[in-house]
Chains A and B, each alone.
Chain A
Amino acid sequence: MMTSFLFRTLDARAGIFIGLMLAAIILVPALNLLVPEGSTFHVPTYAVTLMGKYLTYALLALSVDLVWGYCGILSLGHGAFFALGGYAMGMYLMRQIGTRGVYGDPILPDFMVFLNWKELPWYWYGFDMFPFAALIVLLAPGILAFVFGWFAFRSRVTGVYLSIITQALTYALLLAFFRNDMGFGGNNGLTDFKDILGFDIQAGTTRAGLFAASGLALVVCFLICRAVTRSKLGKVLVAVRDAESRTRFLGYRVEHYKLFVWTLSAMMAGIAGALYVPQVGIINPGEFAPANSIEVVIWVAVGGRGTLVGAVLGAILVNFSKTWFTAALPEIWLFALGGLFVVVTLFLPKGLLGLMDKGWSALRRRPAKDTAAHGAEPQPAE
């Protein structure tokens, strides 16, 4: 009975989330495009872009929650997959500039002309076609994650060690993408985009469209994550999280499960990056910085690990406060973020959603203390 109650609340939560998201997808662009500018209900374009950015962050957090919350893999390198997706999209956008660049070269992006390159490197081929770029957005992070995970999970690198080598991975990529020889714009990255799929990237309608696309991607990925975690496979994943060796002894090929969910998560992070780049208008190696990846983990922790909705909530809340703090009190922001890390890990192990649940059940069943109910929940092991 207890479990059915749990699922019911979860379902309600997911329903509310999807409802809210769909409403936002319709309302925000509508309020931006249809409502005249003077009106109180008008949403300015920069706000649409900002919210679109939050949604891509939310998608990134969702992908981290899938591996961390449900499979116990703490990735400190998901920013790498995000940035790879972003670079794939950035390369497509660079090719769309065509002759409108500073040097007016029809094929070579500006930075290559600047570096005196004579022809396009082979790995830039095909990026003038959107379907190809979209495919690479999925494949580049996916293949990297698959290869990395194949090695790591097969040799049973777990826990902290895995976290550290994921960090080494993103750090190595950071250094690599800083190199001009790599052919990805080096330090400056890719920027100065003109249009996407033939639409002007600066136009309000395109911005609204990108916002809607981000929202849709988030909803779809959320549904995929839910499907995965609610299936039998999801149960095995939770078993891996809570007692990996025991699951292995029971006859499950733990590494296959991990590899599947790891690769899936990396692809989602890639999609998030691909949607992020056209909205912020730049992708540079800074996105690979290990600090970024660690920050994503705290978004998930703030919202509530292993809840999916919590990851989205945490990402939006933390980034909203980041925007506010860095504008109003820039000195304080790192204190606030650092404090958040400490407070959440010490006092909110289940995040905001856990807090809400606690408050909710305390309200509903004030007379009967529900220690039993909480004790029955499986405690996530590290």
Chain B
Amino acid sequence: MSFLKSFLLLLCLLTGFSGAVIAQEDLESLRPLVNALAEGKFKETEQQVADLAATGNPAVAPLLEALGNGDLQFRKSDKAVFITRSAGKGYQLIDPLTHEVAGEASRSEVTKIKVNNGLRRSIRAALGSLTLMAKDPDVRKTAAAAIFKAKDPEAIESLDTAIAKESDDDVRLVMEQARAAAVLNSDGGDADRLEAIDVLASMGNRDALSLLTGFAASAEGEQKAAADKAITRINKSLALWGNAQNIWYGVSLGSVLLLAAIGLAITFGVMGVINMAHGEMVMIGAYVTFMVQEMIRSSAPWLFDYSLLIALPLAFVISGGIGMAIERGVIRWLYGRPLETLLATWGISLMLQQAVRSIFGPTNQEVGNPSWMSGAFELGQLTITYNRMWIIVFALLVFAGLMLVLKKTPFGLFTRAVTQNRRMAASMGIRTPWIDALTFGLGSGIAGIAGVALSQIDNVSPNLGQGYIIDSFMVVVFGGVGNLWGTLVGAMTLGVVNKFLEPYAGAVLGKILVLVFIILFIQKRPRGLFALKGRAVEA
């Protein structure tokens, strides 16, 4: 907010300066009005502020801003008004209109023009209407939005002139909405108000809703009916947008689940290896991101925006390498004994966690968002943050890439051959041990790049992986083992269901319900949503 204020001030200053060059005598004509501020009580000051604003001269803006901040003082000797700045023991005096330095004064020589909250509010509104005429459309828009918040009936006139002059459709819309808000707050006639209600109803957001609800409480007759109608209309559209929001959040959560689970879909789904250390591969990927960013911060800060792109291949290689080492060292001795594999990989996960904790410490590491991943944009009533959006895109890209590798490359062919019939594949000359190692490495590497993405939305700590492991297994089991499409559908379904349950049941209870649902679902379809068809007694 304070940033916005100083931004406004800066713009006012700029416009003020340009105005000063063109119309020096205009400024001097303002002088009596300005100096009048030195006299009178709050009520009168308020009137004076309104008068100043009514001149429509942009040069008044910095003056009003200073008044609002309590920087406007007058010299006791001649009642001349100055903007003051602390300088040493006294003040530097600045001419409020020309912004030239006009000498210095000690603290006892000047008196502050007092402002109270009511006055501050009217100053803000006055500033708002002044900036309505600014050259920059963004400034005009912000000013209109400020009036919308203040609902100041005094601003209607200036809004009208501004609307008539406005060339930008977006800005005009905001101005009309601001006008409607102000009209509702004034004592205008029926027709005016009904029109205002219409404008607000088509706005359809929470601000309009709260405005209308406040209005409907005190309104009567036709106006009340119109307001009530508008309220129901807004509520309906809000409910619709609420659902859209839930779906968006659900898809967003689903893509996170997909990222976490997709590597597991390879190691568990395709190879049948229960890799409890999967979450730690994700964690290692996140730590790789952290290290890359640390290195960039210290030696090449201009590369920061590319840090994630640099981290991706590194995370893939490091996590994949560790995965292959685990496969060669431990898992290959345990093929055909899934429960033992589960225990051994759990042990590995404990060791990896402790290793990371010993090296980096148990606290959260700070991983920054590159500029293209921070911020948000609005789509209707939805606020879409860039990092969530990129993660969805990224998850889908990883999924598509993985599909491509498995379906279209020789390596994918070998992998599928080995998992379908190991002995036959070996007879055809495929080196099955290597395929095992590479497939496991692929799954782990994908967990690593998932870690790069998850480092953007989650705390990077040694426990990062543990939070995902149960969810990932749920997704894979729910979607159907050995089926990547099942993983996609499973992740998205669980994500959306979770987010739809949250408003009714709360986050924790929603999660519990999802878990119970999965437990029951597995009873019904023990092989998941998209089970591989077969006639084996035991898979």
Query: Residues of A contacting B343 with CB < 8 Å?
Result: 294, 297-298, 301, 341, 344-345
Number of interface residues, chain B, beta carbon within 8 A? 45
CA distance A334 to B523 in the complex (A): 35
Query: Residues of A contacting B276 with CB < 8 Å?
Result: 294
Query: Residues of B contacting A291 with CB < 8 Å?
Result: 466
Looking at the complex, which one of B337, B338, B348, B519 makes contact with A342 (CB distance below 8 Å)?
A: B348
Give the bracket for the number of chain A residues in contact with chain B: 35 or more
Selected A-B contacts with CB under 8 Å, 22 pairs: A152-B523, A156-B526, A159-B338, A160-B338, A161-B526, A163-B342, A165-B522, A176-B509, A294-B343, A334-B353, A337-B350, A338-B354, A339-B347, A340-B347, A341-B350, A342-B348, A342-B351, A345-B334, A345-B343, A345-B347, A349-B340, A382-B336
Tell me if A215 counts as interface (CB < 8 A to partner B).
no
Instruction: Give the one of A157, A172, A176, A344 with max B CB within 10 A.
Output: A172
CA distance A301 to B347 in the complex (A): 13
Q: How far does the Cβ of B471 sit from chain A's closest Cβ, in whole Å?
A: 9
- Across chains A and B, which 10 residue pairs bring their CB atoms closest together, nearest first? A341-B347, A338-B350, A338-B351, A334-B354, A172-B515, A338-B347, A345-B344, A155-B523, A345-B340, A342-B347
Tell me if B511 counts as interface (CB < 8 A to partner A).
yes
Tell me if B117 counts as interface (CB < 8 A to partner A).
no
Query: Residues of A contacting B512 with CB < 8 Å?
Result: 172, 175-176
Query: Residues of A contacting B344 with CB < 8 Å?
Result: 341-342, 345-346
Looking at the complex, which one of B334, B354, B522 makes contact with A331 (CB distance below 8 Å)?
A: B354
Tell me if A29 counts as interface (CB < 8 A to partner B).
no
Tell me if A151 counts as interface (CB < 8 A to partner B).
yes
CA distance A74 to B524 in the complex (A): 20
For window 154-184 of chain A, which residues contact chain B by CB distance below 8 Å? 154-161, 163-165, 167-169, 171-172, 175-176, 178-179
CA distance A155 to B519 in the complex (A): 12
- Label chain B's interface by main secondary structure: helix
Query: Residues of A contacting B526 with CB < 8 Å?
Result: 155-158, 161
Q: How far does the Cβ of A304 sit from chain B's closest Cβ, in whole Å?
A: 14
Q: Are B523 and A157 in contact, with the CB atoms below 8 A?
A: yes
Q: Are A334 and B350 in contact, with the CB atoms below 8 A?
A: yes
With A155-B526, A165-B519 known as contacts, the answer to whether A160 contacts B339 (CB < 8 A) is yes
Query: Residues of B contacting A172 with CB < 8 Å?
Result: 511-512, 515-516, 519
Q: Mark B272-296, 1 if CB is under 8 A from A, else 0.
A: 0010100000000000000000000
Q: Are B330 and A346 in contact, with the CB atoms below 8 A?
A: yes
CA distance A382 to B538 in the complex (A): 11
Query: Residues of B contacting A163 with CB < 8 Å?
Result: 274, 339, 342
Q: How far does the Cβ of B538 sit from chain A's closest Cβ, in whole Å?
A: 6
Tell me if B496 counts as interface (CB < 8 A to partner A).
no
CA distance A154 to B340 in the complex (A): 25
Looking at the complex, which one of B342, B355, B509, B523 makes contact with A160 (CB distance below 8 Å)?
A: B342
**Footprint of A on B, CB under 8 Å?**
274, 276, 330, 333-334, 336-344, 346-351, 353-355, 357-358, 466, 470, 473-474, 477, 508-509, 511-512, 515-516, 518-520, 522-524, 526, 537-538
Q: Are B338 and A157 in contact, with the CB atoms below 8 A?
A: no
Tell me if A290 counts as interface (CB < 8 A to partner B).
yes
With A179-B509, A335-B351, A338-B354 known as contacts, the answer to whether A171 contacts B338 (CB < 8 A) is no
Q: Are B339 and A74 in contact, with the CB atoms below 8 A?
A: yes
Query: Residues of A contacting B523 with CB < 8 Å?
Result: 151-152, 154-155, 157
Q: Are B351 and A244 in contact, with the CB atoms below 8 A?
A: no
CA distance A155 to B525 in the complex (A): 8
CA distance A285 to B443 in the complex (A): 33
Q: How far does the Cβ of A3 sit from chain B's closest Cβ, in whole Å?
A: 26
Q: Are A164 and B338 in contact, with the CB atoms below 8 A?
A: no
Of chain B, the residue at the smallest CB distance from A174 is B512
CA distance A158 to B526 in the complex (A): 9
Query: Residues of A contacting B358 with CB < 8 Å?
Result: 331
CA distance A255 to B346 in the complex (A): 29
Tell me if A321 counts as interface (CB < 8 A to partner B).
no
CA distance A208 to B342 in the complex (A): 38
Query: Residues of A contacting B354 with CB < 8 Å?
Result: 331, 334-335, 338
Tell me if A245 counts as interface (CB < 8 A to partner B).
yes
Q: How far does the Cβ of B265 sit from chain A's closest Cβ, in whole Å?
A: 14
CA distance A341 to B348 in the complex (A): 8
Of chain B, the residue at the smallest CB distance from A154 is B523
Query: Residues of B contacting A156 with CB < 8 Å?
Result: 526
Query: Residues of A contacting B349 with CB < 8 Å?
Result: 338
Q: How far does the Cβ of B345 sit from chain A's closest Cβ, in whole Å?
A: 8
Of chain A, the residue at the smallest CB distance from B272 is A160
Query: Residues of A contacting B515 with CB < 8 Å?
Result: 168-169, 171-172, 175
